[in-house]
Amino acid sequence: MDLQSLKNRFNIIGNTPSLNHALNTAEQVAATDLTVLIVGESGVGKEVFSQIIHSLSARKHNPFIAVNCGAIPEGTIDSELFGHEKGSFTGAVDSRKGYFETVSGGTIFLDEIGELPLGTQARLLRVLETGEFIRVGSSKVQKSDVRVIAATNRELLEFTQKGKFREDLYYRLNTVPIRVPSLRDRKEDIPLLFRKFVVDFAEKYKTKPIFLEDSARTLLTSYAWPGNVRELKNIAEQISVLSKTDHISEEVLAGFLPIQDPHNRSMIKGNTPVGEFANEREILYKLFFDMKKDVNELKKMFFEILQNPNIANSANGNYTRESILNELKEDILPANIQSPPISTTTNALPPVQIGVQQPMILDNQLHTDFEVEESLNIMDKEKELILKALKKHKGRRKDASTDLGISERTLYRKIKEYDIEE
């Protein structure tokens, strides 16, 4: 089958070399029974490649099943894959066949293979090497003729180095690797995919398909698409439903695209960040720290002027030390507080040592410097807030957690983490 026929059959849009290479590899390996590992980010269409391999193989008339390993609880995944005997665990009221038994002769697609527990990985390795498995709660060895296609959005080799994935299983799965490119690596395919999605939507709901202007098309291809094809389809359908015009300009499209942080690629919707500052409390902390930094810089400059009046005079001949003090006073003091002007007959101020806590003398009045030396550690602040909340609610964790805006379970963990005595 030529490449274009393959794309037409499986409804694949795109012509980038990396995509074509992945498709060619899938077609070539389909005729064998080799294990395949499909690698790619979430949303790139890894399951489509597993269906291509199965459909072009000699097993195409036998069962095919896709299993999301990350969606099955750790305590039941062995039973799901390999089956169990009656009474083998609580709730096992009957014997049950697992996927490796029911799909024998066919293909099993294990998506998110990196989420498998280590014990299940050992069982899977035995199936791949010998074709044998044992039901949970049984001692009888059974045979299974199943082709395994695995997929992951993780770097499994790094997982093996961290002890989270078996190295022998990794090399057994990685017999034939297929890397599916992300959407940002297929920029020329983005307008084609977008057009397909809006046309499909228009045909389904009997509406007129929307059309992108040139500026909007440029914006569409420049966006990073962290959610890949899945996110592109969602955006296309959103615009098709919510847009008040058929011709989409750059401004209209920008209203549907999340704002992207270029530094850490965290996505921000509206004004609420998701990434560097995960909640409002951390945002406030950063705001306070930035304000403190600005105030300290202002005070340093102020002290330098007090110590050397020639700095102000050389900068602007119209400024005197008294006028600078008056302006600073107006900026710092609230508007509703009346303060007498700085006296021009005030005795010379004593020299100020930069970096040393100093009292500020204004109009022969002694004012305490507003510098407060305190911890800037977020953990210290968090512990302080937890202590205040517990004291306020007389140790009632449920009320304290509600007041803090966190779950009671999180509060309990924080109390243990900070060794807080209640």
Q: What is the pLDDT of residues 341-360, one digit of tens each?
A: 544 444 444 444 444 444 44
Tokens of 89: 């665990």
Q: What's the pLDDT tens digit per position in 143-168?
A: 999 999 999 999 999 999 999 999 99
Q: Could you tell me which residues are beta bridge partners of residue 107?
A: 64, 147
Percent with pLDDT over 70 in the chain:
74
Shared domain for 34 and 140, answered yes or no, is: yes
How high is the pLDDT of residue 136?
93
CB 121 within 8 A of CB 163: no
CATH number at residue 39: 3.40.50.300
Domain that holds residue 253: 184-271
Q: Could you tell me the pLDDT band of residue 269, with boundaries at 50, 70 and 90?
A: very low
Of the residues 147, 162, 181, which one is the last residue of a structural domain? 181
Q: Are residues 173 and 189 in the same domain?
A: no
CA dihedral 76, 99, 108, 44 (to 10 degrees): -40
80 and 15 in a common domain: yes
Average the pLDDT over 207-218 and give the result: 94
**Does 201 have pLDDT greater than 80?**
yes
Distance CA(60)–CA(63), nearest Å, equals 8
Q: Is the dihedral of CA 18, 21, 27, 32 positive or negative?
A: negative
CB-side neighbour CA atoms (13 Å) of 401: 13
Boundary residue ending a domain (237, 271, 305): 271
Summarize pLDDT for 299-354 with one digit per residue, the tens: 777 666 666 666 555 545 455 556 655 655 555 554 444 545 544 444 444 444 44
Closest CA to 136 of 103, 104, 166, 92: 92
Q: Kindly state the DSSP code that residue 189 receives in the 8-state scheme.
A: G
Q: Is the pLDDT of residue 122 over 80?
A: yes
Q: Write down the pLDDT at residue 314.
A: 52
Number of domains in the chain: 4
